[in-house]
Amino acid sequence: MSSLHSSSVPSPGPQSLAFDRAAPLYDATRGYPPAVAEQIGAAIIEAANAQPDTRFLEVGVGTGRIALPLAFRGYDYTGVDISEPMMAKLRAKVAELQQESASAAAPIRLQLVRADMTALPFPDASFDVAVAVHVFHLVSGWKQAVEEVLRVLRPGGLFLHCWDESLDAAAHEVQDRWVEIVRELGGEVGIVGAERRSLVTDYLRERSLPVETLRTVTWEAQESPLDAFEYIAKRIWSRTWLVADDLFAASIRRLESWATNRYGAQYTVPRPKRQQFIISRARR
């Protein structure tokens, strides 16, 4: 038995950067390998001290890379996102997985709601655990979004602010060089919301909430310098969306010249890319 509910709630003007344009490539470029996704799901369950009746909320649910491992374990899971194309991908994945696991004993209780996270359409104290993964940099009113998350958490509930962290010093070399090039050309690579993850942690501590950092799943992927270049050139990275088209085209020409000279014969050779899933846990 399973249930997948969807609804759309109007909000008073979105304050979040929608990922509509990223939906077709999101899973290929930002998704986790299946085994890693399961380990991350288990880490979240442990961090939440989840019980069978624990109610989860995820803001910025996207295509479900976090939601699916938990929902398919039978947890009551609600996902909010402003992007309908992203949630459409998630609904399609749920339908496919339900067919593959029709005999699964645990019911799938996944509700999807289209709404801006700065105006969550839920009563106070509706959830036991709130999850947000690498999302507050996309929200101009990120403090309001944090307040909304805290509002819908029950007293004593847990807010899990999560992200992937690179363990290799040179992992973002191509991205960092592109940012430098844009600035050299007279432009700026802005961020819509919180510029650093630590700002969210600092804000929670300012509100006298206890916060602890949990370093959980570690995994290794492969990425060539060319892959890193194309992540920028194809405008998959959300920070590229805010740069004017003419300036962006000029920056890509300069970046490609730099990258081919910088890496030479190694430009197309995959290199290990080690990452870790971080959970910043705060209790309301």
Residue 64 maps to which CATH number?
A: 3.40.50.150
pLDDT in tens, 46-76: 999 999 999 999 999 999 999 999 998 999 9
**Residue 249 domain-assigned?**
no
Query: What distance in Å separates the CA atoms of residue 46 and residue 216, rounded to the nearest whole number?
Result: 10
Angle at 183 between CA 25 and CA 239, to 5 degrees: 20
Inter-residue contact 150 to 159 (CB < 8 Å):
yes
- Answer yes or no: is pLDDT of 15 > 70: no
**Residue 67 domain-assigned?**
yes
Q: Which of 93-107, 160-174, 202-216 has the lowest mean pLDDT?
A: 93-107
**Residue 173 domain-assigned?**
no
Query: What distance in Å separates the CA atoms of residue 36 and residue 43, rounded to the nearest whole number?
Result: 10
Inter-residue contact 158 to 282 (CB < 8 Å):
yes
**Residue 53 domain-assigned?**
yes
pLDDT in tens, 87-143: 999 999 888 877 776 655 566 889 999 999 999 999 999 999 999 999 999 999 999
**Residue 18 domain-assigned?**
yes
Report pTM. 0.89
How many structural domains is the chain composed of?
1
Give the count of beta carbons closer than 10 Å to the beta carbon of residue 235.
Answer: 17
**Residue 245 domain-assigned?**
no
**Residue 38 domain-assigned?**
yes
Domain of residue 208, residue span: 2-168+191-222+274-283
**Beta carbons within 8 Å of 13's beta carbon, 6+ residues apart:** none
